[in-house]
């Protein structure tokens, strides 16, 4: 029965019975001299009246019964093994991910599966309840719908950036249909079944699952897989290299692809790439940046098949001149100053003591403690670090170990263990670190690696995260970075840079290292995040009020993401609040822009690799699985839970008995009078 709740209406059948039993009729008395004839006429009339009333009762009751059956809609079907009682429940998952944009037959894949879904629910029209599920998991998809609403839900489905795993889909279908206790349930998946999306699902139920694969006309797609800025430091009016990688599906016969580089809405360069027999190409584009502040970079590739992955966004920031504050001991500091001032992008200020003004600290990107004999006021240095300031410490040749170790303990650094009177030479570089990456790529060709007549050994425990960036030939560290989440970093040099103790200041690595430290301190940032990544978006936050709430704003959208402040960093989780790639602003409650983001779609939908029909059973590992063979076999499972619905016949029979009632009322007496003369 489709609507068993209407069975209560059978109680209404007592109405015609009551009317029949209590149909009181007033008779008019007539007096006759001869009552014999009257008695015979009365007897005949009473018999005729009783028959009429009984026929009317039967007609009315049958009319009401068939009207009630038309509402209840009982289903008639020969019971099959495994079929149980209850209302039919049909749950349909329709893949609306980006790969469903591609054509399949005469239609786009998404339109093809929508039509098949409509065919499924049409076959069970008004017999059961329906779930229409897509990758969006929106509210009306997490409940059972009647036929009319399910039909509209299918027609309203659009391509979406969302993407779900096989188990996420299956779990959501099972949980939604569990709200109905019926055991007559079937499940459908309509998708192109990309290999990197569908894997084994949990055997949490034994209801029939039917997979309906969509076959794309051509497995074509050319897309930008990744891109990054190669230049270690971006400087105004100098060449900046962008390295990018593009992919082509193996079924794509495209010969050439046009790549366009756009900076701040202006086309910087275009390049045509020839594929030949390759399916992956890596190339480099070069441009110049002519302005400071935030820069918006977009790569675009020509490809008409699937469009969401034709663009790749990232943003970066070019700050005003990095402001370097250098506090000097009684030593010659001209080498450091000259290295930093050799480039007009730096502004260097020299001081003789550690008592910097608040304005000086606020402006400083990097504070250099240059060969101070004693390290005092460690608490003040700690405040600088909490303010996200980077600090470089050059140890002097006559260091006061006790003074330094006391300060290092306060700062959370390792203590100095000993003065090592050994001749050493710089040898090992951590080239994976951003500070050194790409600067010393030709390290094997450097012949003037500096040497030192002594160095300071380090030992013990560090409360801050420690990373050795440069080491001596005996394995001891020369340059160590100490860091803590949400704070600035400390760069510690363990060898004296005094010209009498080493040739470090004369080497070819000194100037670029100083330059990179200054540039790193300028909050230079390359932003390229993926939407719906499990990881957080993390970016520096200079505003001091930790209770502020930030929103992310783009074209026609403004969201307040899940967020928390850790030190001077803001951690945000977008989840599925933003669905479009592009450039976005991070704003405070006053509407002031404090940061810029570039968000990209993940490239999982770009790979046009699909499971064949014969591979689905092994891939999903579900016992009660049927794969459509292309001849509408996906309708077979419906036969086990549905039956023949005769509601139209019930309506016709109800009308027939209502007409019969009218005929009896209108013509019974006339027909009876016409038959009387014949009886006499």
> Does residue 345 sit in the same domain as residue 431?
yes
Residues 275 and 375 in one domain: no
Tell me the torsion sign for CA atoms 444, 447, 450, 453: positive
DSSP H or E stretch at residue 313: strand 311-318
| Of the residues 565, 582, 600, the one at which a domain ends | 600
Nearest to 522 by CA among 509, 506, 540, 508: 540
* Residues 416 and 401 sit within 8 Å (Cβ to Cβ): yes
| Whether residues 338 and 287 fall in one domain | no
Single out the residue of 1, 2, 53 nearest to residue 24, CA to CA.
Answer: 53
Q: Which domain holds residue 104?
A: 89-218
Give 245's strand partners: 226, 282
Distance between CA 261 and CA 631 in Å, rounded? 47
Locate 500 and state its tokens. 């009498």
Q: Give Cβ neighbours of residue 212 (< 8 Å, ≥ 6 apart).
A: 113, 116, 188, 189, 190, 191, 628, 634
Q: Are residues 46 and 58 in the same domain?
A: yes
Helix (H, G, I), strand (E, B) or coil at 8: helix
Domain assignment of residue 140, yes or no: yes
**pLDDT recorded at residue 82:** 42
First to last CA, the chain: 54
β-bridge partners, 227: 244
Of the candidates 51, 65, 49, the one whose C-alpha atom is nearest the C-alpha of residue 15 is: 65
Task: Return averaged pLDDT per consecutive 10 residues of the chain, 680 residues in all.
Answer: 63 70 55 56 61 78 81 59 65 93 87 93 82 92 92 94 90 90 87 89 82 88 89 75 91 90 93 92 91 90 87 85 82 75 76 84 86 87 85 88 91 91 89 72 62 91 92 93 84 88 83 74 67 77 75 91 81 87 92 90 88 88 84 65 67 84 76 59
The sign one gets for the Cα dihedral 394, 395, 398, 404 is positive
Q: Kindly report the CATH number assigned to the domain that includes residue 209.
A: 3.40.50.410
pLDDT score for 466: 93
Distance CA 158, CA 638 (A): 26
In the chain, the number of structural domains is 5
| Assigned domain for 614 exists | no
- How far apart, in Å, are the Cα atoms of 1 and each of 4, 5, 70, 187, 229? 6, 9, 10, 20, 65
pLDDT value, residue 125:
76
User: At a CB cut-off of 8 Å and minimum separation 6, what does 173 contact?
Assistant: 91, 93, 131, 133, 187
Q: Give the domain-ending residue among 162, 190, 218.
A: 218
3-state secondary structure of 340: helix
Cβ-based neighbour number of residue 55 at 10 Å: 15
Residue 300's CB: how many other CB atoms inside 10 A? 17
CATH number assigned to the domain comprising residue 348: 3.40.50.880
Spatial separation of the C-alpha atoms in residues 277 and 48, rounded to whole Å: 98
Within a domain: residue 254? Answer: yes
Query: What is the spatial distance between Cα 277 and Cα 289, in angstroms, rounded to a whole number?
Result: 35
The answer to whether residues 406 and 413 touch, using CB atoms and an 8 Å cutoff, is no
Residues in the chain: 680
pLDDT of residue 59: 82
* Angle, vertex CA 404, rays to CA 403 and CA 409, nearest 5: 105
128 SS3 class:
coil
For the beta sheet containing 557-559, the strands, ordered from the edge strand earlier in sequence to the opposite edge, are 529-530, 593-600, 582-587, 551-554, 557-559
Q: What is the 3-state secondary structure (H, E, C) of 223-277?
A: EEEEEEECCCCCCCCCEEEEEEEEEECCCCCCCEEEEEEEECCEEEEEEEEECCC
Does residue 297 belong to any structural domain of this protein? yes
CA distances from 651 to 59, 62, 126, 256 (A): 14, 11, 16, 66
If asked whether residues 199 and 106 sit together in one domain, one would say yes
Q: Tell me if 94 sits within 8 A of 134, measured CB to CB.
A: yes
- pTM of the predicted model as reported, rounded to 2 decimal places: 0.65
CA nearest neighbour of 204 among 256, 254, 180, 169: 169
Among 600, 617, 637, residue at a domain's last position: 600
What region does 80 belong to: left with phi over 0, alpha with psi -120 to 50, or beta?
beta
For residue 517, count CB atoms less than 10 angstroms from its CB and return exposed for 0-12, middle for 13-18, buried for 19 or more: buried
Give the Cβ contact number of residue 163 at 10 Å.
20
Q: In this structure, what are the phi and psi dihedrals at residue 350, rounded to the nearest 5 degrees? A: -105, 140
Buried b or exposed e, range 278-289, using 16+ CB within 10 angstroms: eeebeeebeeeb
- Same domain? For 495 and 398 the reply is yes
Phi first, then psi: give them for residue 579, nearest 5 degrees. Answer: -120, -10
138: in domain: yes
Same domain, 303 and 354: no
- Evaluate whether residue 581 is within a structural domain: yes
660 belongs to a structural domain: yes
Say whether both 407 and 329 belong to one domain: yes
- DSSP label at 536? P
311 and 330 in a single domain? The answer is no
- Quote the tokens at residue 651: 């309506």
Distance between CA atoms of residues 413 and 222, nearest Å: 50
For residues 574 and 561, the answer to whether their CB atoms sit within 8 Å is yes
Using DSSP's 3-state secondary structure scheme, residue 403 falls into helix
HEC profile of 71-121? HHCCEECCCCCCCCCCCCEEEEEECCCHHHHCEECCEEHHHHHHHHHHHHH
- 359 & 411 share domain: yes
* 621: in domain: no
For strand 185-191 and strand 293-301, is the pairing parallel, antiparallel, or unpaired?
unpaired
3-state secondary structure of 631: coil
* Ramachandran area for residue 626 (φ above 0: left; ψ -120 to 50: alpha; else beta): beta
Which residues lie across from 214 on neighbouring strands? none
Angle at 545 between CA 541 and CA 547, to 5 degrees: 100
Q: Are residues 296 and 198 in the same domain?
A: no
- CB-CB neighbours of 211 under 10 Å: 24
Q: Identify whether residues 231 and 211 lie together within a single domain.
A: no
CA dist 349 and 394 (Å) reads 17
CATH number at residue 580: 2.60.40
CATH of residue 229's domain is 2.60.40.150
Residue given tokens 């209850």 in the structure block: 86
């Amino acid at each position: 029965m489709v609507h068993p709740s209407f069975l209560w209406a059978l109680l209404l059948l007592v109405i015609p019975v009551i009317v029949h039993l209590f149909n009181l009729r007033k008779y008019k008395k007539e007096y006759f001299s001869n009552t014999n004839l009257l008695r015979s006429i009365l007897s005949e009339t009473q018999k005729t009246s009783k028959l009429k009333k009984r026929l009317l009762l039967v007609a009315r009751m049958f009319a009401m019964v068939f009207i009630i059956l038309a509402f209840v809609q009982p289903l008639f079907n020969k019971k099959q093994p495994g079929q149980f009682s209850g209302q039919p429940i049909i749950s349909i998952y329709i893949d609306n991910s980006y790969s469903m944009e591609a054509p399949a037959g005469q239609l786009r894949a998404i339109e093809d599966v929508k039509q098949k879904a409509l065919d499924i629910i049409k076959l069970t029209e008004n017999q059961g309840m329906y779930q229409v599920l897509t990758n969006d998991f929106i509210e009306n998809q997490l409940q059972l719908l009647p036929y009319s609403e399910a039909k509209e839900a299918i027609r309203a489905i659009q391509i979406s950036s969302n993407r779900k795993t096989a188990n996420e889909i299956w779990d959501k279908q099972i949980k939604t249909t569990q709200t109905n206790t019926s055991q007559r349930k079937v499940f459908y998946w309509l998708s192109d079944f990309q290999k990197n999306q569908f894997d084994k699902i949990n055997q949490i139920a034994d209801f029939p699952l039917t997979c309906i694969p969509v076959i794309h006309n051509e497995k074509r797609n050319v897309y930008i897989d990744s891109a990054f800025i190669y230049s270690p430091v971006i400087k105004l009016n100098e060449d900046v290299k962008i390295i990018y990688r593009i992919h082509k599906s193996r079924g794509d016969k495209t010969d050439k692809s046009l790549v366009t580089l756009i900076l701040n809405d202006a086309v910087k360069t275009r390049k045509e790439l020839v594929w030949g027999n390759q399916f992956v190409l890596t190339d480099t584009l070069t441009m110049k940046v002519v302005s400071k502040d935030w820069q918006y970079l977009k790569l675009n590739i020509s490809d008409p098949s699937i469009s969401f992955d034709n663009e790749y966004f990232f943003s970066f920031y070019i700050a005003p001149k990095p402001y370097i504050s250098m506090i000097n001991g009684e030593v010659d500091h001209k080498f450091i100053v000259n290295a930093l001032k050799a480039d007009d992008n730096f502004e260097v200020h020299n001081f003789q003591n550690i008592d910097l003004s608040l304005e000086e600290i606020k402006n400083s990107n990097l504070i250099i403690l240059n060969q101070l004999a004693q390290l005092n006021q460690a608490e003040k240095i700690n405040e600088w670090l909490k303010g996200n300031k980077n600090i470089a410490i050059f140890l002097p040749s006559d260091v006061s170990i006790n003074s330094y170790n006391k300060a290092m303990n306060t700062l959370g650094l390792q203590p100095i263990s000993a003065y090592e009177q050994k001749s050493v030479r710089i040898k090992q570089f951590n080239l994976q670190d951003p500070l050194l990456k790409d600067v010393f790529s030709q390290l094997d060709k450097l012949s003037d690696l500096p040497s030192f007549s002594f160095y300071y050994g380090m030992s013990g425990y560090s409360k801050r995260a420690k990373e050795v960036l440069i080491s001596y030939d005996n394995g001891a560290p020369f340059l160590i970075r100490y860091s803590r989440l949400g704070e600035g970093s400390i760069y510690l040099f363990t060898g004296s840079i005094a010209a009498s103790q080493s040739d470090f200041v004369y080497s070819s690595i000194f100037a670029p290292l100083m330059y990179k430290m200054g540039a790193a301190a300028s909050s230079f940032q390359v932003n390229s995040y993926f939407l719906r990544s499990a990881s957080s978006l993390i970016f520096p936050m200079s505003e001091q009020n930790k209770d502020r709430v930030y929103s992310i704003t783009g074209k026609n959208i403004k969201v307040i993401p899940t967020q928390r402040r850790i030190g001077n960093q803001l951690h945000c989780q977008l989840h599925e609040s933003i669905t479009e790639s592009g450039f976005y602003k991070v704003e405070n409650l006053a509407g002031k822009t404090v940061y810029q983001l570039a968000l990209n779609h993940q490239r999982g939908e770009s790979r046009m690799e699909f499971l064949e029909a014969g591979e689905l059973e092994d891939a999903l590992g579900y016992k009660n699985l049927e794969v459509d063979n292309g001849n509408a076999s996906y309708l077979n499972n419906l036969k086990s839970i549905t039956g023949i619905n005769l509601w139209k016949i019930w309506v016709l029979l109800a009308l027939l008995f209502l007409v019969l009632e009218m005929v009896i009322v209108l013509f019974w007496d006339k027909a009876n009078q016409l038959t009387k003369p014949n009886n006499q």
